[in-house]
Structure 1
Amino acid sequence: MPRTPTIYDVAAEAGVSISTVSLTLNSPGRVSERTRRRVLAAVDALGYVPKPDAVAKARRGVGRVGVIAPHTSYPSVARRLNGVLRAAATRPLEVVLFDHESAAESASPLLSSLPVTGRLDGLIVVSIPLDDAVARRLTAVKLPTVLVDVRHPGFDSVHTDDVAGGRLAAEHLIARGHRRFGFLGEAQTSDRYVSPSRRRLEGYRAALAAAGHRLEDGDVRLVRHRTRHVLAAARDLLTGPHRPTAVFAADDVLAASVLRAARDLGLAVPGELAVIGFDDGHLAEAVDLTTVRQPLEESGRAAMERLIQQLDRPTAPREVTLGLELVVRTTT
């Protein structure tokens, strides 16, 4: 029977002291990123997890849950957080926020180094794919975890059907009489997962194909979620020899960049170009954007309510799928 790896094995594998391993797992902010990555690589390579009994004992009664999400990169996350906080207000819980730069990255160093050895009672992960190694670690230490906007086997999740959202966008644009289509989405850094942006593209492309319209690779732009990159991609999409007359963007911020590019190029919206986004946040209302509405606050509330249920009495994980709605405004 193989021997269970210990903290001593991790220290030897990483070439650091036992205290450095402990510090990395319990207070990752106090070690350098280089050291943290080396220790976590050793942890994952060896399959090491702290003793579950010790973790449970350390965690009992902490009264604190964590929310890790790209808070500063996506306006939609703030609305999800509002739902989380409203649901948390029913219990004496402290909510700790961990910011992650982008939802397009597959493995989050921050998520990998969260203090799962006694600092949190539970965790909500928003819009960040769960790496298999991290999933194993969370399962091993029995940390109740709920995923929002992403899914992983063995974990509770609250999400919408992004593929269906892409179909809604395509069907609306087709009904408006358009025949040349474009898509602007966020690029992924790994093929080990499927992002919401890619799923929305999948539904969009499938619905167009079903109606006899091909969405070629040249009609698609996938970029980093940075203003200058997005604007450049939007302008490029709208200046080709066969430019689209309708563009679906994977979120409202991307859609707003398409509107900006259209204005700069002198294209009338919706006369010469129709634009549709996804989320229906405050930005969509401000620019009168047609968009696919997802229940952002409700998803945060549902995630926290499910986490509280798991803290009170653990049950088998379940998936909750929330509905979508097309909101038609003046950009189409």
Structure 2
Amino acid sequence: MPGRATIYDVATEAGVSISTVSLVLNSPARVSAGTRRRVLDAVDALGFVPKTDAVARARRGVGRIGVVGPHTSYATVARRVNGVLAAVAGRPLEVVLFDQESAATSSSPLLAGLPVTGRLDGLLVVSLPLEDGAAERLTGLGLPAVLVDVRHPGFDSVHADDKAGGRLVAGHLLARGHRRLGFLGEAQRTGAYVSPSRRRLDGFRAALAEAGHGLPGGDVRFTVHGVGPAAEAAAAMLAGPERPTAVFAGDDVLAAGVVKAARGLGLRVPDDVAVAGFDDGELAEALELTTVRQPLEESGRAAMERLLQRLESPSAPAREIRLDLRLVERRTT
């Protein structure tokens, strides 16, 4: 029966020692990705519920909320966390951060290190796709969870429409008279999910097609996240005689790389090449970058408020909260 398996059963199923199982459950970062996968697969297969979690579920109200996300990978995640902290200000709640590898750079199962032990009242999953195995683990543990920037059936979520954001940029650049356009997005190592960059590209491409314009394959590129790699990829796109006259970058960091590449090639922005990004923060303001503004702090605040509602009404139907995007026009277009 699910829930009756022991830690000894998990160790046998995974072919590891009991101490290794304990490490995976309590300190997953100290275990290799392959071993962690085997142990968590065994946990799922056997329906094992760690005793500490059973106790935690029986003693609600420990005053601790977990926030799991790629905190060290993207400044946007930190801004979402700022919204989370604003929502709990004045409340007797502790917020604990669990840093995870960006889904774009990880080739291991997403959320493989999801904390399945520890006394938490609820969990926010930020900018990390929720795979079925992790979703089932959360459901089996009875741990209330709200997703931010991602969606999964049966879970509350707070997100923006990335495709709509891509459409906003396409409409703006077409209105400025551009007809040959390019796109630079973040590369991903796994095809297990559709990344924000891909969704933004889909909306961008669809809007161009509806206006009768294509997006040549050579003008769509993906790169490692960062200004330097983005500048190298953009330079290759902009160096040819048939270069695009406008480039939409999947986020503002990549857009900064496009601006750097253009200047390195002696191209004027926006006279020779227009540049638009996505997110809108201090970097966009400093570069006077046209971009799509995401309500990042608002998303964190809304997610935390929804999680508190979920804690009050555990059986309430799941809700999807979609936040609006806005195009901010500045000097780069």
Which range, TM-score by smaller chain? over 0.9
Letter in 2 for 1:255: A
Report how far residue 289 of structure 1 moved: 0.3
Residue in structure 2 matched with residue 139 of structure 1 by the alignment: 139
Residue in structure 1 matched with residue 210 of structure 2 by the alignment: 210
Report how far residue 78 of structure 1 moved: 1.7
Letter in 1 for 2:179: R
Residue in structure 2 matched with residue 18 of structure 1 by the alignment: 18
Task: Provide the alpha-carbon RMSD of the alignment.
Answer: 2.3
* Alignment of structure 1 residues 137-176 onto 2, 5 Å: 137-176=137-176
Report how far residue 29 of structure 1 moved: 4.0
Q: Is the 8 A contact 2:63 2:94 kept in 1?
A: yes
Residue in structure 2 matched with residue 286 of structure 1 by the alignment: 286
Residue in structure 2 matched with residue 238 of structure 1 by the alignment: 238
Q: 1:325 to 1:204 in 2, by over 3 A?
A: same
Q: Which moved more, 1:15-24 or 1:202-211?
A: 15-24
Write the distance in 1 (CA, Å) between the matches of 2:286 and 2:228. 21
Residue in structure 1 matched with residue 317 of structure 2 by the alignment: 316
Q: Which moved more, 1:230-239 or 1:318-327?
A: 230-239
Q: Which moved more, 1:314-323 or 1:226-235?
A: 226-235
SS for the counterpart of 1:276 is strand
Write the distance in 2 (CA, Å) between the matches of 1:2 and 1:163. 40
Q: 1:313 to 1:106 in 2, by over 3 A?
A: farther
Determine if the alignment matches structure 1 residue 81 to structure 2 residue 81: yes
Letter in 2 for 1:158: V
SS for the counterpart of 2:101 is coil
SS for the counterpart of 2:135 is helix
Determine if the alignment matches structure 1 residue 27 to structure 2 residue 30: no
Write the distance in 2 (CA, Å) between the matches of 1:168 and 1:108. 34
Write the distance in 1 (CA, Å) between the matches of 2:205 and 2:166. 8
If the length of structure 1 is used for normalisation, what is the TM-score?
0.92
If the length of structure 2 is used for normalisation, what is the TM-score?
0.92
Report how far residue 51 of structure 1 moved: 6.6
Write the distance in 1 (CA, Å) between the matches of 2:284 and 2:2. 56
Residue in structure 2 matched with residue 326 of structure 1 by the alignment: 327
Report how far residue 105 of structure 1 moved: 5.0
SS for the counterpart of 2:173 is helix
Identity of aligned residues (%): 70
Q: Is the 8 A contact 1:181 1:215 kept in 2?
A: yes
Q: Is the 8 A contact 2:227 2:256 kept in 1?
A: no
Report how far residue 192 of structure 1 moved: 2.1
Write the distance in 2 (CA, Å) between the matches of 1:199 and 1:240. 27
Write the distance in 2 (CA, Å) between the matches of 1:326 and 1:35. 45
* Structure 1 unaligned blocks of 5 or more: none
Residue in structure 2 matched with residue 111 of structure 1 by the alignment: 111
Q: 1:313 to 1:90 in 2, by over 3 A?
A: farther
Q: 1:106 to 1:312 in 2, by over 3 A?
A: farther
